[in-house]
Amino acid sequence: MNDRMEREINRTIDLLQASMPRRRPGTALSVLIKTAKDEIDPRLLLALFLISVPAGLGFTKLTSPMITVFCISPLPMLILFHRYVLHSNPAMRELEETFPFSYSEMLVGRAVLISAYMVFVFLALAVLLSNFTGENFVRLALCGAIPNTYLCIALLVLSAFIRDQDGLSLAAVVVWAGIIYCASALPFDRFLLILPTWAYVTILIAGVVLYGLCVRKIRKRRGYCENN
């Protein structure tokens, strides 16, 4: 009787496992981005953009255009990371066991989509500030891209490898506020102005390469729970 019950239990377990969604090995990045896009509210993206534009114009009355794009452009990215990555991490980990994608894949999909939106924001700010102030568009765009890229790398890595993330959003905001204060209080604008364009390009290329390596490494992790 016990053997029969054990066989029935094993048979039931096998049937349940067969009916559960399977993770897709090596899921295409386009699929991960499409899945993330369906979860992000476009109204929030529009609101962040509409807030960033007047904030950028208002900030230019207090400081230089280079400082403005350097400080303002990361704000939408930080908010989106908090809302759709850090704030959603517990739910993402719970879904990992039944969802066709691993936690790491969901994290990468959301991070890449946020990064694409980040590019749109700092390019729009660069165009706007260039038209209003006459500052060189390329240098403005590069100046906005660098802090966004490295902050995104830091948040992506910390989200993937740190278990306790309760204070991570607050820490990111504190760091961003510290950057704004230092950039405004110190003669940082002079440094940004005298820094040659090739140096901006070099720093950005290094950041993009590092970002790509981080995305590749995180995608290979087959799950949060299995690696912690």
**Maximum separation of any 2 CA atoms in the chain, in Å:** 86
pLDDT tens for the 228 residues of the chain, in order: 456 666 666 666 655 554 554 545 556 777 777 777 777 888 888 888 888 878 777 777 777 888 888 888 888 888 888 777 776 555 555 555 555 667 777 778 888 888 888 888 888 888 888 888 888 888 888 888 988 888 888 888 877 776 655 566 677 777 777 777 777 777 777 888 888 989 999 999 999 999 989 888 887 765 444 444
Q: How much is the pLDDT for 16?
A: 54
Q: How far is it, in rounded angstroms, from Cα 132 to Cα 134?
A: 6
Domain ranges of the chain: 28-227
pLDDT recorded at residue 206 = 94
State both tokens at 177.
Answer: 């506020």
Within the chain, residue ranges assigned H as helices are: 2-19, 29-39, 42-59, 65-72, 74-81, 89-95, 103-133, 137-161, 168-185, 188-194, 197-220, 224-227
Q: What is the DSSP letter of 82?
A: I
